[in-house]
């Protein structure tokens, strides 16, 4: 589970290629490109369709990440003697999507990874193999996965993380002006710590809005809907730690 960057799927909203909300009326159903309209796709099918072949440069490439996810998911599910149907029920992810992930034919979104990891009592770091033993080890830059790509070139990289279900993760975000990311909220008690290296981070947590300038830090309890965005004119770079501790 780990960093629960779950993308909310509203009744009248769809998610574009970069994971952003897109109003119903902005979806073009008549593009004539031979592809199914988002209106005719299930949520998981839509998420799978929109996240295939997202580049993960720099860092671990998309295929390597997909292989790691497929291998870890299958091993964990079988070790816990959980059927595909049961994992689908626990996670809320369709059986078809789970099958595609295990076959390494889908590059799932952060939200779907979080749901599946939580259902298995793992962290996202477990799933993408940046939480492997020994207890003290170096994660090579080539093995650090990029798990979100923004429309204008922004990225979110999972630098390191501990194994679940109690977990701490370290992320590095880069966002260009106008880019944003939204989350529906994490498990109760989840905390996030931010430090802005460059630019200005706008962080909305519930009804609270924080504007965090370069050189400053912030703490937020993120078990409510929240979002990060770059509303400035220059590139935004910030690091974020996420702590989810189950009592």
Domain boundaries 141-244, CATH class: mainly beta
What confidence category does residue 229 fall into, taking pLDDT thresholds of 50, 70 and 90? very high
Which residue ranges make up each domain of the chain? 13-24+36-127, 141-244
Q: What sections of 80-218 are H helices per DSSP?
A: 84-91, 95-102, 110-119, 124-127
Residue range 149-177, pLDDT digits in tens:
999 999 999 999 888 778 899 999 999 99
Higher pLDDT, 236 or 54: 236
- The token pair that represents 71 in the structure block: 């291998």
Right CATH for 13-24+36-127 from 1.20.810.10, 3.50.50.60, 3.20.20.70, 1.10.260.40: 1.10.260.40
Nearest CA among 203, 235, 246 for reference residue 222:
203
Q: Six-digit token pair at 230? A: 């770059």
d(CA 214, CA 220): 17
């Amino acid at each position: 589970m780990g960093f629960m960057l779950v993308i909310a799927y509203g009744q009248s909203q769809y998610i574009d290629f970069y994971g952003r909300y897109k109003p119903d009326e902005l979806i073009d159903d008549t593009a004539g490109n031979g592809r199914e309209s988002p209106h005719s796709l299930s949520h998981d099918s839509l998420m799978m369709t929109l996240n295939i072949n997202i580049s993960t440069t720099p860092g671990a490439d998309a295929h390597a990440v997909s292989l790691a996810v497929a291998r870890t998911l299958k091993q964990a599910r079988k070790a816990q003697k959980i059927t595909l149907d049961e994992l689908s029920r626990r996670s809320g992810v369709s059986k078809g999507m789970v099958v595609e992930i295990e076959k390494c034919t889908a590059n799932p979104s952060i939200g779907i990874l979080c749901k599946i990891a939580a259902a298995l009592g793992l962290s996202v770091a477990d799933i993408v193999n940046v939480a492997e033993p020994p207890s003290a080890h170096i994660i090579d830059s080539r093995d650090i996965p990029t798990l979100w790509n923004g429309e204008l070139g922004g990225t979110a990289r999972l630098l390191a993380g501990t194994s679940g279900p109690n977990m701490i993760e370290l992320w590095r975000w880069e966002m260009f002006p106008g880019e944003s990311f939204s989350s529906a909220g994490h498990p109760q008690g989840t905390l996030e710590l931010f430090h802005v290296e460059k630019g200005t981070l706008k962080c909305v947590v519930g009804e609270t809005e924080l504007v965090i300038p370069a050189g400053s830090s912030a703490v937020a309890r993120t078990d409510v809907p929240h979002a990060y965005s770059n509303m400035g004119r220059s590139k935004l770079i910030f690091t974020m730690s996420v702590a989810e501790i189950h009592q």
